Amino acid sequence: MNDIEEVLVALRRVTRASHLQSRYLVKTIGLTLPQIILLQTIQAKGKVTIKQIAHEISLSPATVTTIIDRLEKKNLLIRKRFSQDRRKVHCHLTSDGLSILENTPTLLQKKFTQQFYMLEEWEKSLIISALQRIANMMEKQPD
């Protein structure tokens, strides 16, 4: 196998593992991985606009709006307009939203998390750097 094939196989394995984890989350708590990440972002950031959420979790504002619509229907968050600028909307978690986050399993497999934390700091940095570089390379538009 050449280098490119090895990269593609490794990426496929990561994608598959992520997909399986997402299916597990839907089965156990009824939310998708992007929905959980969005809720966690709102919890961590507090008052945050849809545009800020989209930037934070690397999704388009239209996709974030669709996810927010679904979460709002499930009573996990509410939208409010900024008092200073009525054009801007921010989201707040409801008590149901906070409760579901408290009961959400880890987003990565425990085995991965444990093994990652056992790595040396330079190894963690190397992995993070390589993954960020791969993401940047894959996001590039074709010539």
Q: Which residue matches tokens 């709006």?
A: 65
Average pLDDT over residues 98-124: 87
Average pLDDT over residues 26-53: 90
Closest CA to 108 of 59, 9, 37, 29: 37
Class of domain 31-105: mainly alpha
Q: What is the pLDDT of residue 143?
A: 59
Going from N- to C-terminal start, the domains of the chain cover 31-105, 108-143
pLDDT in tens, 68-95: 999 999 999 998 876 776 677 788 899 9
Average pLDDT over residues 55-77: 94
| Secondary structure string (H, E, C) spanning 112-140 | HHHHHHHCCHHHHHHHHHHHHHHHHHHHC
SS3 33: helix
